Amino acid sequence: PDIVAFNYQLLAWSKIGTLEAAQHAEDLLSSLLQQEKEGDNFRPNTTSFSTVLKTYLQLADRNAAESSEDIVLKMEALRSQNPSIGDTSIYFNWVLKKWGESRCSDHADRSLALLDKMVGLSNARLNEKAEANQLRIGFNIVMNNFSKVGGEKVASKVETIFRSMDKRNCGCHLEPDDFSYSICMATWARSRESIAPRKVKDLLDEMISSFEDGNAKLRPNTHFFDL
């Protein structure tokens, strides 16, 4: 048997779509990792991990997000030792989205904690360009997770994450995109706070100013004026 055959076995378990099948696929992967450590077998690759990850992501189980996070962190930990494991940032974003769907009361905070880990890893690798766009997407996902929570001060929390996009990524200039602005503005618009109209206007003015300074990606459309 080789890694291709092994991955087909994982795929077969992933298609069953139950928690038991996901756990069985994870056990198979753990067994392979142990055998590899002992020098007795081939190495798992990106497909091995992503297949097991998908088995959890498709579940509605309360603990699916946490199990998914465990898989992606294990994948990342082995990345430096295993050249067959590539960029993990897209898989982090899959898990951030899963936290947004979770029924756990602290799901938005858990997604922010995972984003912090993602930022740290990106900085440690000097912010490879291939990861920068995925990192921006990660920020947007987490802002959206908080936006859906609602409640007092959530708009301020979303804007804090929005404003931290540059500050937390000293190795590269990671700017918000139009979706980042949209999430932040929409959250303020729904907040019913007395400062909300001013906050939305300030963000729109900032977006227009960036566009006029040459950032064509921040061209406001009618959606932004309708908020």
Question: For the segment 185-204, what is each residue's pLDDT rounded down to a tens digit?
Answer: 999 999 999 999 999 999 99
Mean pLDDT of 96-111: 94
Give me the percent of the chain exceeding a pLDDT of 90.
63
Per-residue pLDDT band for 223 (boundaries 50, 70, 90) equals: low
Using CA atoms, how far apart are residues 30 and 25, in angstroms rounded to an integer? Answer: 9
Per-residue pLDDT band for 217 (boundaries 50, 70, 90) equals: confident
* Contact call for residues 97 and 130 (beta carbons, < 8 A): no
Signed CA dihedral, 156, 69, 10, 23: sign only: negative
pLDDT tens by residue, 10-64 = 999 999 999 999 999 999 999 988 887 767 677 899 999 999 999 999 998 889 9
Using CA atoms, how far apart are residues 30 and 33, in angstroms rounded to an integer? Answer: 5
* Tokens at 90, concatenated: 């897209």
pLDDT tens by residue, 30-44 = 998 888 776 767 789
> Is residue 170 pLDDT above 70, yes or no?
no
